[in-house]
Amino acid sequence: MLGLLKTVGLGMLVASTLAVTSLAHAEDIKLMDGVAPRPDDTRMTAAGAFKKDPPWVIGMSDFGVNANTWTVQVAHEAENAAAKDKRISKFILLDAGFDQKKQVADIEDLIAQHVDAIIVQPVTSTSANASIAKAVAAGIPVILHTGRIDSDAYTTEIQGGAEHFGKVMGDWLVKT
C-alpha cells in the first residue's frame, strides 16, 4: 500500500516535470500496469509547449491535505520527491482545507509567484475552473490530480482507475 502511495506522489511530480520538458515520443511512456488513458480523452498538448530549462518551481494546490491518511501521504510523498529532484528548486504545497474560495486564492497566488507548473487537486468540478484557465493562459501548465473539472482548460491529468487501485489494495490486504 505504501508503495502505491509513493507511486502516486512520484507520478504527480513526474507529470509536472514532463509538463515543463519536451517529450519527443509520448507514446513511449510506460503507464503503471493496469492503467490506461480514458478512451474518450483525445486531447493532446504539443511536445515542448511548456518547455523550460530547470530549475523549476512547482506549486501544488491540494483540496485538503489533512482529510485522511491517504491525502497526508500523497502530500508528503510529493514534497519528498520534489526535494530529491535537483531540477526542482522549490516545491510550494498549499492546502485549501476543502474551501473552494481558498483554493481559488491559492491558485491565484501560485500564478502571481510565476511558478513553472501547478498541480491541482480540485475541491469541486467547477470552483477553480476560471483560475485554472488563467494559469494556462499565463503559460503555466496545470496538472489535474485526483479530481476532474468541468472544463478542458488544463494541460494534463493524472487520475487513478478506481477498479485498478481497488484490486491493488485488495491484493495487498490479502497478502498481509
Secondary element (H or E) of residue 53: none
Q: Which pLDDT value is given to residue 148?
A: 76
Q: Which pLDDT value is given to residue 66?
A: 84
Three cell numbers at 79? 514534497
Please report, for the domain that includes residue 86, its CATH number: 3.40.50.2300
For 39, 75, 102, the CA distances from 70, given in Å and listed in that order, are: 27, 9, 21
Q: Cα–Cα distance between 48 and 28 in angstroms, integer?
A: 16
Residue 12 lies in a domain: yes
Q: Cα–Cα distance between 154 and 158 in angstroms, integer?
A: 12
- For residue 157, which phi and psi values (nearest 5 degrees)? -145, 155
Residue 43 lies in a domain: no
Residue 45 lies in a domain: no
Secondary element (H or E) of residue 120: strand 117-120
DSSP assigned state of 27: G
Residue 13 lies in a domain: yes
Q: Tens digits of per-residue pLDDT, 20-36? A: 544 444 455 555 555 55
Q: Which pLDDT value is given to residue 11?
A: 53
Phi-psi region of 23 (alpha: psi -120 to 50; beta: other; left: phi over 0): beta
Give helix 129-137 / helix 100-112 axis angle, nearest 10°: 10
Q: Which pLDDT value is given to residue 60?
A: 95
Residue 50 lies in a domain: no
Q: Which pLDDT value is given to residue 13?
A: 52
Residue 129 lies in a domain: yes
Q: Tens digits of per-residue pLDDT, 152-167? A: 788 887 776 666 667 7
* Structural domain that includes position 79: 2-21+55-175
Q: Cα–Cα distance between 129 and 155 in angstroms, integer?
A: 13
- Helix residue ranges per DSSP H, the chain: 2-19, 69-84, 100-112, 129-137, 162-175
Q: Which pLDDT value is given to residue 51?
A: 87
Q: Cα–Cα distance between 97 and 88 in angstroms, integer?
A: 25
Residues of the chain predicted below pLDDT 70: 1-43, 47, 160-165
Residue 120 lies in a domain: yes
Q: Which pLDDT value is given to residue 25?
A: 43
Give the total number of structural domains in the chain.
Answer: 1
- For residue 145, which phi and psi values (nearest 5 degrees)? -140, 130
Strand partners, 93: 60
